[in-house]
Structure 1
């Protein structure tokens, strides 16, 4: 099977820095990215010629594609790793993210993130509401005890 010039360049970049198993793992997501480029009528001659906007568009495409969030992260990570090994700017690659996957955790003061697309388990929601109810009841009992002690 004939490989495109981009895939040959990606294979060469990965062979310089990675094992053969890594090459076998990373090339299928890379080929999907190439299909994405071709579907948008982009045909760069080199990995370094891939426009930054195309990487951002691919990240948005993965966000809205009907697949599991882990699959989207793996696909984007594979493409970014190939680009990094080929000499693409790390500063540009750091700005390429899947838009809706991360959001701040509620009720946190620091910048922690969790995956947005994962739904909390029903059991954890129930446990959380039980803890909240127990805290409220404890506060009410403390208030009642304080009022009784003051009388």
Structure 2
């Protein structure tokens, strides 16, 4: 299979790493981005000629595609990493985010950051409703006990 000039540039940009793992991991995600470029705009001659608006459009495309938020983050991060290694401005790349995802929020329980999304994941909603239901049941059982009656 023939490589496009952009894929060849991406491979060169990723050759700076000492192993082949980044190339095997990131190039398929880069090819998905190239498919997006071919279907939505003309192909630029080099990675540095990719317009900032096209990268933003790709982030929005990933947001509205039917995939998990984490998968969209990985795909966008792979494209941005290739662009950064190719010499694209880091200042510009920092401003490109998936619209559904907010900035990192400090988690007060740990010294770590977590991503807060506009739409909570279904699993977290189910866990939250189970915890609420369990709390209500415990409160109802406590209120029904005769030893808790006011004196």
What is the TM-score with the length of structure 1 in the denominator?
0.76
Matches of residues 38-77 of structure 1 in structure 2 within 5 Å? 38-77=38-77
Q: Distance in 2 between matches of 1:126 and 1:70?
A: 24
More helix by share: 1
User: Secondary structure in 2 aligned to 1:114?
Assistant: strand
Deviation at residue 16 of structure 1 after TM alignment: 1.6
Deviation of 1:124 (Å):
2.5
The equivalent residue for 1:78 is 78
Q: Which has the higher strand share?
A: 2
Distance 1:10 1:81 in 2: 10
Runs ≥4 residues deviating over 4 A: 129-135
The count of corresponding residues between Structure 1 and Structure 2 is: 139
- Tell me if the contact between 1:26 and 1:78 (Cα under 8 Å) persists in the aligned partners: yes
Pairing partner for 1:124 from 110, 120, 128: 128
Q: Mind listing any 5+ residue stretches in structure 2 that lack a counterpart?
A: 143-149
What 5-or-longer segments of structure 1 have no aligned partner?
A: 139-144
Alignment partners' CA distance in 2, 1:12 and 1:95: 25
Aligned-partner Cα distance in 2 for 1:103–1:133: 36
Aligned residues of 2:101 and 2:115 also touching (Cα < 8 A): no
RMSD across aligned positions (CA): 3.1
Aligned to 2:17: 17
What's the CA shift for 1:94? 0.6
Alignment match, 1:114: 116
Give the structure with higher Rg (CA): 1
